Amino acid sequence: MSDDAGAAEREARSFDPDHAIAAIDGGHASVEMSCPADVANPFASGGYSAGLAVAGEDPHIVPPLSFASLPLSSPSHVAETPITERAELVQVLASGEKPSADWRIGTEHEKFGFQLDDLRAPTFEGARGIEALLTGLTRFGWEPVQENGRTIALLRDGASVTLEPAGQLELSGAAVETLHHTCVETGTHLDEVAQVAGELQLGFLGMGFQPKWRRDQMPWMPKGRYQIMKNYMPKVGSLGLDMMTRTCTVQVNLDYATEADMVKKFRVSLALQPIATALFADSPFTEGKPNGYLSYRSHIWTDTDADRTGMLDFVFEDGFGYDRYVDYLLDVPMYFSYRDGVYHDASGQSFRAFMQGKLPALPGALPTLRDWSDHMTTAFPEVRLKKYLEMRGADAGPWDRLCALSAFWVGLLYDQTALDAAWDLVKDFSPTERHALRDGVPKYALGLPFRNGTARDLAVEAVNIAREGLRRRARLNRDGQDETGFLDVIAEIAESGVTAAERKLALYHGAWKGDIDRVFREFAY
């Protein structure tokens, strides 16, 4: 095996976790495990479903949900009562507080669809289109969600499948108790998608940026909010349309116990978000050629819309809490208001004016909690606060790294000793240093110089802290294994200092001989 081929093999097979079937035993997740035969897509053979049948478990019976909100891509189903007091907005954030016993994990990931014959992104319509894929997935118990008579999303047991602007397929997972649960859920979804996609001669690729096609070659999905954003983005940045149509990410949503707990987790996760970006960097190609970045997806956010992106320095200021974050959101320009099935274009307008009944798009109307819930989803900082914290810094990738992203942040934030250690690691970072990390890792990833070392040094320490946090969590499967194995793939990246992006670049310049089409064949789910 050549060095280049070996790099592909290591990335595809660097993590061989047993796949889990959720059951609860003594307050901890107890799961039955078996080793997948195909680790690059460990659920493709149907072995996972067979394992479920043998164990007699239902993977969709999960602990009660703690993330009471639909994903960004769907109208929020919350109260229609008009908001009259600013305190109501603050209370939305405070209502997310939960005792640690009720903390859950919500993992989201996006992926690029492509036609197997010509590698082009599928359109929404047509026998092989995205709507046909969604319709096909309903055989697995997903309920369709429609807009203007078209199926644009699916719902099942607290999870959803939604569409990003160019048809990137997103799973927003249910809020589950353990990493064993969330990795099963992700694998089940990939298995279901593979079955339907295979019938339609489609494939799916997990990377941070579309490696082959130009922006004008990407389709647009028929969703009202996306048309509003499409028109607004060029007014506020040069790369916003690329963000919408050519990026994919993996995120995890995590709970907090109190306002003080939220603040500490917010600060730690903001300071370390560039380290996650570096560890998960996997977007080195644009339109078939190297683009000079390791996470071009992350770079794109630096020129999308400064009013709603970035590192949020105010989070580190004395006195930060729910109230200050509400101030930030009130200053983020609106995109829309959703009323009676219609998206009203309010792009660039003020939610503060809306609170006074002076929104030009809807004169005299007052916002509802649904409007506020929708507005919260249109801020895109590196970490986002809703009724939970969203970690937003990582490129999408293969199945093992989807699990690893959640493992990294759960290990850091869901164990108090680990959270304290992570805070000790970052608490003396200056604003200049935090921004230097954020601005440098898209190009240099773990090789970025920092203080007397590199970002890799921070990554190694952060992964070690996360591993110990998961060990103390002690969420065991039936074989007595904890959740630490889900970190193995990024522990190897941290130790070696070589990202997925750099391995793909080595293949591109070596075995692939500059043929970007190979990435679709060798790294598809």
For residue 450, which of 479, 477, 428, 466 has the smallest C-alpha distance?
428
- pLDDT tens readout for residues 181-196: 999 999 999 999 999 9
Give me the amino acid identity at 385.
Answer: L
Task: Please write the tens of the pLDDT for every residue from 302-320.
Answer: 999 999 999 999 999 999 9
The pLDDT score that the predictor gives to residue 198 is 98
**Domain parsing of the chain, residue ranges:** 3-523
- pTM of the predicted model as reported, rounded to 2 decimal places: 0.88
User: CB of 22 within 8 A of CB of 178?
Assistant: yes
Amino acid at position 257, single letter:
A
Of 65, 270, 26, 255, nearest in space to 172 by CA: 65
Give the integer Cα–Cα distance in Å for 342 and 220: 18
CA-to-CA dists, residue 346 to 79, 228, 338, angstroms: 20, 8, 10
Tens-place pLDDT, residues 230-288? 999 999 999 999 999 999 999 999 999 999 999 999 999 999 999 999 999 999 999 99
| Dist. CA 226–CA 380, nearest whole Å | 15
Instruction: Identify the pLDDT of residue 50.
Output: 26
Average pLDDT, the chain: 88
- Whether 114 contacts 204, CB under 8 Å: yes
User: Who wins on pLDDT, 297 or 74?
Assistant: 297
DSSP 476: -
Higher pLDDT, 68 or 507: 507
Fold of 3-523: Creatine Kinase; Chain A, domain 2 (3.30.590)
320 φ, ψ (degrees, to nearest 5): -65, 140
- Name the band, by pLDDT with cuts 50, 70 and 90, for residue 39: very low
**Average pLDDT value for residue range 335-351:** 96
Q: In this predicted model, what pLDDT tens digit does every residue of 127-174 receive, in sequence order? A: 999 999 999 999 999 999 999 999 999 999 999 999 999 999 999 999
Question: Which residues fall within 8 angstroms of residue 53, CB to CB, at 6 or more apart?
Answer: none
Helix (H, G, I), strand (E, B) or coil at 112: strand
> pLDDT value at position 479?
84
- Among the residue ranges 30-44, 67-81, 340-354, 474-488, the one predicted with the least confidence is 30-44
Whether 34 shows a pLDDT value over 80: the answer reads no
Distance CA 49, CA 195 (A): 12
- Contact criterion met (CB below 8 Å) for 19 and 36: yes
